[in-house]
Amino acid sequence: MGITERKEREKNERRAMILDRARELILERGVDSVTMQDIATSAELSKGTLYLYFDNKEAILAALFREAGSYFLEYVSARLDTARSGLEAIRLLWMSYFDLFGESNDIIVLFSIRNVLTPSFPLLPGTPNAGDIQEPYLLLGLIQNLISRGIADGSFDPALDPAQIARTVIVITDGIIENIARLPPGMRTNRLILQEMKSTFELILRAIVAPGCDRSLLILPLGSGQF
């Protein structure tokens, strides 16, 4: 490995380490309480060195969200072709969430970051501003497309408004995560989020499916082996 390649690798490793430390601090203290100095201290870097990698805290927050959000969307999209209906696609979306976030509290960090960077989402839907992170809007669009797909193939009620249902799903998800994020650190776990989401989204599915659908598909699994 040449000097240039080694330096680039070291730079990428340090950048990843900075993001890891920032993620840990946000989970422990909350977004508003974490400063650039806190992140530099945790990463054992000078504040000046930290600024060589990120211009400000907002840049770190955006990087954290974009990396996780982009990976999730890619992961989901790669699996959706196997779904035979919109209802099965929604289940695959759920399983993708479980597979990527089921064993961690990263979703609490991402929720906190999104609220800081895109505070109006999803209550004011539409085209994001230039400075907004794009991934929340992409996820909203994905859910909307899956609802539309289900209407077209007959698995969802044809009277549904896909855009409204997609926003409702996001708003309910936000409420669940926000309530659990308020718990003391020792009590808030992603398992609580998963359990609450499972029960709530099963109710939503029962409300939006078309008559005659396979009722077994309305039970969301809590692990890959149950799918």
Give me the count of residues in the chain: 227
CATH number for the domain including 1? Answer: 1.10.10.60
The set of residues, in sequence order, having a beta carbon less than 8 Å from that of 179 and lying 6+ positions away, is: none
Asked whether residue 59 is domain-assigned, the answer is no
Mean pLDDT, range 95-102, rounded to an integer: 88
pLDDT > 80? residue 223: no
Q: How confident is the model at residue 164 (pLDDT cuts 50, 70, 90)?
A: very high
pLDDT at 190: 79
The tokens 């989401």 sit on which residue?
A: 197
Q: Is 92 found in the same domain as 37?
A: no
DSSP assignment string, 108-163: HHHHHHHHHH-TTTTTS-SSPPTTS-SHHHHHHHHHHHHHHHHHHHTSB-TT--HH
pLDDT > 50? residue 119: yes
Q: Is 100 found in the same domain as 23?
A: no
- Kindly state the tokens that stand for 110: 């991402």
Q: Is 221 found in the same domain as 175?
A: yes
Q: Is 149 found in the same domain as 108?
A: yes
Task: Tell me the per-residue pLDDT of 37-67, one tens digit each, with 9 for 90 and over.
Answer: 999 999 999 999 999 999 999 999 999 999 9
- Kindly state the tokens that stand for 187: 């009590």
Q: Are 111 and 49 in contact (CB under 8 A)?
A: no
Quote the DSSP letter at residue 210: P
For residue 156, count CB atoms less than 10 angstroms from its CB and return exposed for 0-12, middle for 13-18, buried for 19 or more: buried
Q: Is 69 found in the same domain as 42?
A: no
Q: Is 30 found in the same domain as 73?
A: no
Domains of the chain: total: 2
Q: Is 42 found in the same domain as 128?
A: no
Q: Is 200 found in the same domain as 104?
A: yes
pLDDT > 90? residue 131: no
Asked whether residue 136 is domain-assigned, the answer is yes
End-to-end C-alpha distance for the chain, whole angstroms? 44
Residue range(s) defining the domain that contains residue 204: 64-226
Q: Is 118 found in the same domain as 173?
A: yes
Dihedral, CA atoms, 173, 73, 158, 211, nearest 10 degrees?
-70
Q: Is 98 found in the same domain as 19?
A: no
Q: How confident is the model at residue 130 (pLDDT cuts 50, 70, 90)?
A: low
Point out the domain boundary residue: 35, 54, 73.
Answer: 54
Q: How confident is the model at residue 89 (pLDDT cuts 50, 70, 90)?
A: very high
Tell me what percent of the residues of the chain surpass a pLDDT of 70.
94
Q: Is 195 found in the same domain as 109?
A: yes
pLDDT > 90? residue 76: yes
Asked whether residue 84 is domain-assigned, the answer is yes
- For the question of whether the overall pTM of this predicted structure is more than 0.85, the answer is yes
Q: Is 82 found in the same domain as 190?
A: yes
